[in-house]
Structure 1
Amino acid sequence: MPSTAMAARWSPSFLLSCFVLLNVCFPLLGQPAVEKKLKLVIMVFRHGDRSPIQTYPNDKYKEDSWPDGFGQLTQLGMDQHFELGKYLRKRYSGLLNETYNKNEVFVRSTDVDRTLMSAQANLVGLFPPTGRQVWNPNIKWQPIPVHTMSQSNDMLLIAKENCPRFAELVNETSTSEIFNELKKPYVDFLKTLPNHTGYSFDQLIGSKGPYMWWTIYDALFCEKIHNYTLPDWATTTVIEKLLGLQELSIAAYFGLYKQQEKTKLTGGVLVKAIIENITQALAPSSKQKMIMYSAHDMTVAALQSALNVSNGKLPPYASCHLFEIYEVGNDYTIEMYYRNDSSVEPYKITLPGCSQSCPLEKFTDLTSSIIAKDWRKECGFEDKNSDKVFGLTIAVIVLGLTLFVLAVMLIFCRKRLLGASYEAV
């Protein structure tokens, strides 16, 4: 006879549970996995290594100390972007054609030498000429268009430079209680810098302080990379403290005080453009596969602050924020990655409130609060078009009234003339 334990194992309730489980599992096992297909890549990257933008008054290395002057892409910077281009070729070999196709790739840069040159160096690595695109066998390069516009009109990649209200917010932040509290630990350190740098303490601690200490750090950082001899006072500790002030500056630009408003005026502008890019690229008639934006550390920082995924660090040279748009069944998802170290794979970024593979519709909904309804108006620009319309309206009204008055006068004069003629007869 079977044991009591065996009988319990094969009880009706146990058999019923097995039956239900099999009915649930077998249909699932028979369903094919939903295909995940990469459709589009959008990237925003910082230019490569450069010479200092400017330097502090007492620095012995002036502009003529740098082969191409201040703010220019170096050969190291060119190599960094060539390497990034090769990495992108490898990562997206299944998406892109082997050869450049103008319908698939669009590149835009700020109108600055180092960003334009970085984009070009990147494209050398991404699209080395092959086949019919080899126009000179001695040159492993082909010209690929990089689009740009004047800095004064660029409201996308350097929005903060062209928004009066944003400048007001930064000034307000520099006098805010939270900013001054965070700056307090550095005050004694800042007092030691005037004799070394040539900046006054008021310049360093005042409303323009972030720009002054930014200049000191940037100059020393660039000089160190390129093996220039640093002054004795520029110890490792000094440079670390200047870096801390740099990171405080980033926080002051994009956070700490009225962050939501700052976001709408800076990184939110780029987020809006990226969402529009995606919508257009996913249209049935579109062949778009890659959109590339070549910009600056503050562009990347503004974007990541807007998405609330910033690590608070200064984006390094050739750092790259990637948006990958996938088709999954009948839906689309977005995955984000950040490449800030060429020795490792990009790390995954998750938009707060969503999964790492975020449905496009949810991504759009979650970012709607950081997108300005009327950027120019919120920046404090006068609407020139409205002024033109108003002026034209007034002109039309004045012209109409003038014509009406002339018509009345003409009728009146004609009646007088006709009356006089009857009397003469």
Structure 2
Amino acid sequence: MSHPEVHGVVILARNGDRSECYQDPITYQPSSTESTPLGEVQSHLLGSYLRSLYFSSDSSSHIRDISNELVNLQEVHVRVKVGGEGSSVFDSATAVLQGLFPPNEKNRITLANETTIMSPLGGYQYVPVETVEPNNDRSLESWTDCPAFQEHVKKVQSSSKFREAEQNAAPFFKDIKDYVFGRPTTMANALFDYLSSQLVHNKTFAHRLPPTFIEQARGWADFRENMVFSDEHMSGIGNIASRTALNSMLSALQRIAFNGDPLQFMLIESTYQPFISLFHQTEMIKGHPELQAIPDFGSALAIELRRSPPDSREFLRFKFRNGTEEDFRTVHVFGHHEDIALTEFIYRLENSVINSNSHWARTCGVSTGPELADAGNKFFDAIMGMGMIFVLMLFAWLGSFVIKRYRRSNYVRLQGEEARLESISYGTRGEKAMTENKL
């Protein structure tokens, strides 16, 4: 059944190109990265593409009744992962928003003195973002600091399937040693990220790397990450990346479906891990096995909330775009070959979604979530801070009292008329009263 009207969209976007990112093979703690001009261009292209699709009145996928010239901040919500990889994801989100909402000369105001002021840079549109840090919100980086996930990774690496792949990959990892400068050449340390980064940014390296090496590295990295970020069971620990991200997605879809809520567009800027888990958790891979891989930089998954009047029910259509060189193509979830009802989608997933930090802590086998520990530390710090202030005030009062006593005991008593000092006080009606203060 066709549902022509798009009433809202949730976008899961991957960051653009950045510097090499090393991840620990067990804990998956990542190194810090920096975005590159190439990555910013990729993300900007994604933003421009999304604008042409959902904010242009000429598009068949135009979001119904959304503001298409100046951004309406009540209609748009942006969440950005700012975890271990540093600022590269945040920079990518900024570039996407610059493409989505480019400078517009209508972004101006008229002051009381009738002076017209335009926003800088030709009407630049400033869109606030919600940064999601793993120290206080695990929804966009749930796989780090998670003991249960680390055990899952160890089981993957000790499985017969993984061991067989290691044997098959051994010749390649032997041949690649001369090109990775001492880095461990094993399946546990997939080298694709390093090779890819060098191939793009290091001209000398690009000229030396033999043909097919990057394709082989990509294939083994896809194999590894697909095993690590998936699970046989929908609510398994291998799907933790999407199980936490889905909380934001489902909440946004429910808000969009509610006519009294102005939200119509949500952007979630993240890294590659939630994509792989989501493809497995929603069974997209059954109809689209090519999705069992790391998505390219600048990739995006769109979840469109659609209706078909007079039917008031909401349906979802899923579209995926791998990288920035292709258009969205429709993908299907849970064995459907058409749009799926929002109610069915929520029903199938709701028991597997991790919806709070405490739920994440229980799932990972952590006695207290980091957010609780942080909150406790902040409370303790606050109490200690107030205590220190009280102690300082007490010492200051005692000090002033001692100084006054000392001054009185050592005061030089003046003789004659100078011994008669005059002090001024004010009565209840403001009359000035003169009193004598005799020493």
Q: Under a length normalisation based on structure 2, what TM-score does the superposition of the two structures give?
A: 0.69
1:122 is displaced (CA, Å) by 1.0
1:243 match = 218
Residue in structure 1 matched with residue 33 of structure 2 by the alignment? 71
Give the match for residue 380 of structure 1: 365
The aligned residue for residue 195 of structure 2 is 220
User: How far has the Cα of 1:107 moved from its partner?
Assistant: 0.5
Q: Which amino acid aligns with 1:309?
A: M
Q: Is it true that 1:104 corresponds to 2:66 in the alignment? A: no
The 3-state SS of whatever aligns with 1:281 is helix
CA contact (8 A) 1:264 1:370 kept: no
- The aligned amino acid for 2:95 is A
Q: Deviations over 1:189-230 (max 9, x none)?
A: 223444543447xx444xxx43x233xx22221222235211
Q: Distance in 2 between matches of 1:89 and 1:142?
A: 14
User: What residue in structure 1 maps to residue 170 of structure 2?
Assistant: 187
User: Structure 2: 5+ residue runs without aligned partners?
Assistant: 24-30, 56-61, 109-117, 286-290, 374-439
Residue 89 of structure 1 and its aligned partner are, at CA, apart by 1.2
Question: Identity, % of aligned pairs?
Answer: 21
Q: Distance in 1 between matches of 2:74 and 2:127?
A: 12
Residue correspondences, number: 334
Aligned residue type for 2:165? L
2:14 matched to 1:46?
Answer: yes
Q: In structure 1, what residue type is equivalent to 2:302?
A: L
Residue 291 of structure 1 corresponds to which residue in structure 2? 266
Partner amino acid for 1:352?
F
Partners of 1:301 and 1:245 lie apart in 2 by: 15
Distance in 2 (CA, whole Å) between partners of 1:359 and 1:183 is 42
- 8 Å contact 1:267–1:305 — kept in the other structure? no
Structure with the largest fraction of strand: 2
Give the deviation of 1:151 after TM superposition.
Answer: 3.1
The answer to whether structure 1 residue 84 and structure 2 residue 46 are counterparts is yes
- Structure 2 equivalent of residue 359 of structure 1: 341
Partner of 1:28 in structure 2? none
Q: Name 1:19's counterpart in structure 2.
A: none
1:95-142 Cα shifts (integer Å, max 9, x gaps): 231211111000011113111111111111111233542534644522
The match for 1:315 among 282, 295, 300 is 295
> For 1:199-210, what aligned pairs fall within 5 Å after superposition?
199=182, 203-205=184-186, 209-210=187-188
Checking the alignment, whether the CA contact within 8 Å between 1:307 and 1:351 is kept in structure 2 is yes
1:46·1:295 contact (CA, 8 Å) conserved in 2?
yes
Question: Structure 1 CA distance, aligned partners of 2:227 and 2:273?
Answer: 12
Are the counterparts in 1 of residues 9 and 302 from structure 2 also a CA contact under 8 Å?
yes
Letter aligned with residue 362 of structure 2: K
Partner of 1:117 in structure 2? 91
Q: CA RMSD in A?
A: 2.9
Which amino acid is the alignment partner of residue 71 of structure 2?
Y
> Residue in 2 aligned with 1:324?
304
Counterpart amino acid of 2:77?
A: F
2:101 matched residue in structure 1: 127
- Are residues 245 and 43 of structure 1, via their aligned partners in 2, closer, same or farther at CA, if it must alter by over 3 Å? same
Q: Secondary structure at the match of 1:117?
A: helix
Whole-Å Cα distance in 2 between the matches of residues 103 and 276 of structure 1? 15
1:147 paired to 2:121: no
CA distance in 2, matches of 1:246, 1:293: 24
Deviation at 1:234, TM superposition (A): 2.6
**Which structure features the higher share of helix residues?**
1
Residues 105 and 291, structure 1, Cα contact 8 Å, conserved in 2: yes
Q: TM-score, normalised by structure 1?
A: 0.71
CA drift at 1:247: 0.9
The equivalent position to 2:279 in structure 1, one of 304, 309, 328, is 304
Q: CA-to-partner distance for each residue in 1:64-112, whole Å, 9 max, x for gaps?
A: xxxxx97211111111111111111111123231211111000011113
| CA positional deviation for 1:168 | 1.3
AA partner of residue 103 (structure 1): Q
1:353-386: per-residue Cα shift (whole Å, max 9, x none)?
Answer: 323311112212233454358432121021579x
